[in-house]
Amino acid sequence: MSAGDADLREAFASAHFDEGMTLDRFIFETTRARPEATGQFATLLQQVSLAARMVSSRVNRAGLAGMLGRTGEVNVQGELVMKLDEYANDTFKKALEHPGVVAAVASEEDEDLFLPPARFRSGRYVFCMDPLDGSSNIDVNATIGTIFAIFRRKSEEGTVATMDDVLRPGTDLVAAGYVIYGSGTVLVISTGDGVHGFTLDPVVGEFFLSHPDLRLKPSAKLYSVNEGYAASWDPRIRAWVESRKAPGMGWKQRYIGSLVADFHRNLVKGGVFLYPATDSSPQGKLRVLYEAFPLAFLVEAAGGAATDGRRRILDITPKGLHDRTPLFIGNKVQVDEITAALAAPAGTAG
Ligand code: AHM
Ligand code: MG
C-alpha cells in the first residue's frame, strides 16, 4: 500500500458522520485531506454513484416491463434480463471512462480487459466488476446488485494498462464495494478501514449515509449455502453444515441465490456464506476478481474473514480475469471453523 492509499484509508476511518451526510459530501470530506490527491479517486466514486443510480432506476422498472411482457405476445422478459446485464455493464464503463479515471475495467460481462480509448487513458485506477450479480433473479424481483473492486494501476499513467495491473493479489486493493438493488438501493463501500452503507433516496436522487461503520461480531448463528449441492461437497463441509442442525443449536439458514444480497444480509445481521467446490464446479462457482475479492476486502474491513477453505481470499493471485474460487465468508469464528475443518484429514469428518 502506498503512502497515498494509507492516507485515504485513514481519512475514511476518521470521517465525521452526522445526519443527512450524503455520499458526495462523504467523498469530498474524506478525500480532500490527502495532499497528493488529484481528485481522481473522488471522481471515480462519484461516477460509481451515478452509474448505480442509473442502473437502480432501470432495475426498478424491469418488474413493470416484465409484467407487461408476460401478458403480451413476445417474451420481453427474457430479452430484458439480457438487456439489463448489458445496460449495467455499459453504464458503469461509460461513467468511468469519460472522466478519465480508469486505465482498465475487468467485467464479468466481457471476456477481455476493457481499455478506454486513448483520449481517456489518463486514469490511475483499475476497476473490476460484476455489473449485475444474481441476474437470474431479475424475473422474480429478488435483490440483485453490482459488486466492484478497485486497484491503483502499477504501470505508468498514460500508457496502455496491462494484465499485470489486474492479475494481482487482493491485498493490493485500495477500495471495494457493492450496490444492492432491492426494496431499497444501498451502496456499501470501504477503503479498508471501516465499511459504510448509503441508502438511495429515490426522490432526492442522492445516497445518504444509513449504515455507518458496519461491524461483524466474531460469531453468528446463521449460514447461507445452496444445500441442494450437499451430496457433491467435500464431506467435511457437509459435516460442518449438518452439525449446525443438531438439536438445541439454534441456527438459521438463509439463501437467496444472489451473492450480493446474501452477503449484505450477513454483513448487517451476521452470518457465514459458503459456496464450496462441487462436482460440476470443482474450482467453485464464484469469480475471484470481481466477486470474492471485493467481498473479502469488505468483510475483513468489518472484522470478519474470507477464505477459499485453505487460504485467505485476499492472498490469491488470479491467473485469469475470470478465475473461480470456493468461498467461505462472514463472521470470523465460523470461517475459521470451516477452514480448520478442511485442514483436518478427510476421514475425520463427523
Ligand atoms: P451470476 O454472477 O451469473 O449472477 O452468478 C453468480 C450467482 C451468485 O450471485 C450466487 O451466489 C450464485 O450464483 C448462486 O448459485 P447457485 O444457483 O448455484 O446456488
Ligand atoms: Mg455474479
Mean pLDDT, to the nearest integer, of 39-56? 95
Q: What pLDDT, on a 0 to 100 scale, did the predictor assign at position 81?
A: 45
Evaluate whether residue 217 is within a structural domain. no
Q: What is the pLDDT of residues 283-318, one digit of tens each?
A: 999 999 999 999 999 999 999 999 999 999 999 999
Evaluate: CB of 258 within 6 angstroms of ligand 1.
yes
Q: What is the pLDDT of residues 224-272, one digit of tens each?
A: 999 999 999 999 999 999 999 999 999 999 999 999 999 999 999 999 9
Query: Of the candidates 24, 147, 158, which has an alpha carbon nearest to the alpha carbon of residue 88?
Result: 147
- Is 283 in the same domain as 207? no
Q: What pLDDT, on a 0 to 100 scale, did the predictor assign at position 350?
A: 44
Which structural domain range is residue 258 located in? 222-343
Count the domains in the chain: 2
Mean pLDDT, to the nearest integer, of 13-29? 75
Evaluate whether residue 216 is within a structural domain. no
Evaluate whether residue 68 is within a structural domain. yes
- Is 203 in the same domain as 78? yes
- Is 207 in the same domain as 238? no
Evaluate whether residue 332 is within a structural domain. yes
DSSP 8-state class, residue 289: I
Q: What pLDDT, on a 0 to 100 scale, did the predictor assign at position 74?
A: 40
Q: Are the CB atoms for 321 and 106 separated by under 8 Å?
A: yes
Mean pLDDT, to the nearest integer, of 272-278? 97
Q: What percent of the chain has pLDDT over 90?
A: 72
Q: What residue type is assigned to position 108 of the chain? A: E
- Is 245 in the same domain as 187? no
Distance CA 212, CA 14 (A): 12
- Is 191 in the same domain as 276? no
- Is 188 in the same domain as 145? yes
Evaluate: CB of 85 within 6 angstroms of ligand 1.
no
Q: What average pLDDT is seen over the chain?
A: 89
> Where does the pLDDT of residue 24 fall: very low under 50, low under 70, confident under 90, or very high at 90 and above?
very high
CB-based contacts of 2, cutoff 8 Å, min separation 6? 152
- Is 137 in the same domain as 268? no
- Is 14 in the same domain as 143? yes
Query: Of the candidates 301, 217, 227, which has an alpha carbon nearest to the alpha carbon of residue 266?
Result: 217
175-197 burial code (b ≥16 CB/10 A, e <16): bbbbbbbbeebbbbbbbbebbbb
- Is 74 in the same domain as 201? yes
Evaluate whether residue 349 is within a structural domain. no
Bridge partners, 22 (sequence order):
208
Evaluate: CB of 5 within 6 angstroms of ligand 1.
no
Task: Tell me if residue 27 falls in helix, strand or coil.
Answer: helix
Q: What pLDDT, on a 0 to 100 scale, did the predictor assign at position 101?
A: 93
Q: What is the pLDDT of residues 182-197, one digit of tens each?
A: 999 999 999 988 999 9
- Is 50 in the same domain as 108? yes
Q: Is the pLDDT of residue 223 over 50?
A: yes
Evaluate whether residue 168 is within a structural domain. yes
Evaluate whether residue 159 is within a structural domain. yes
- Is 174 in the same domain as 96? yes
Q: CATH number, domain at 141?
A: 3.30.540.10
Evaluate: CB of 130 within 6 angstroms of ligand 1.
yes
Mean pLDDT, to the nearest integer, of 26-40? 76
Bridge partners, 253 (sequence order):
223
Mean pLDDT, to the nearest integer, of 94-118? 94
Q: What pLDDT, on a 0 to 100 scale, did the predictor assign at position 319?
A: 97
C-alpha cell at 38: 488529484
More confident residue, 16 or 198: 198
DSSP secondary structure string for all residues of 152-170: E-SSPTTSPP-GGGTSS-G
Report the separation in Å between the CA atom of 149 and the middle of ligand 2, taken as the mean of its atom positions. 13
Q: What pLDDT, on a 0 to 100 scale, did the predictor assign at position 335?
A: 98
More confident residue, 162 or 141: 162
Q: What pLDDT, on a 0 to 100 scale, did the predictor assign at position 36?
A: 61
Q: What is the pLDDT of residues 313-334, one digit of tens each?
A: 999 999 999 999 999 999 999 9
Report the residue among 59, 133, 226, 264 best suited for mutation to probe ligand 1: largest number of ligand atoms under 8 A from its CB.
Answer: 133
Evaluate whether residue 337 is within a structural domain. yes
Please give the model's pTM, rounded to 2 decimal places. 0.90
Q: What percent of the chain has pLDDT over 70?
A: 86
Q: Which of 178, 211, 244 is the last residue of a domain?
A: 211
Q: What pLDDT, on a 0 to 100 scale, did the predictor assign at position 78?
A: 46
Distance CA 5, CA 10 (A): 9
Q: Which of 188, 211, 234 is the last residue of a domain?
A: 211
Distance CA 265, CA 191 (A): 20
Q: Which of 211, 239, 261 is the last residue of a domain?
A: 211
- Is 31 in the same domain as 114? yes
Query: Of the candidates 255, 271, 318, which has an alpha carbon nearest to the alpha carbon of residue 292?
Result: 318
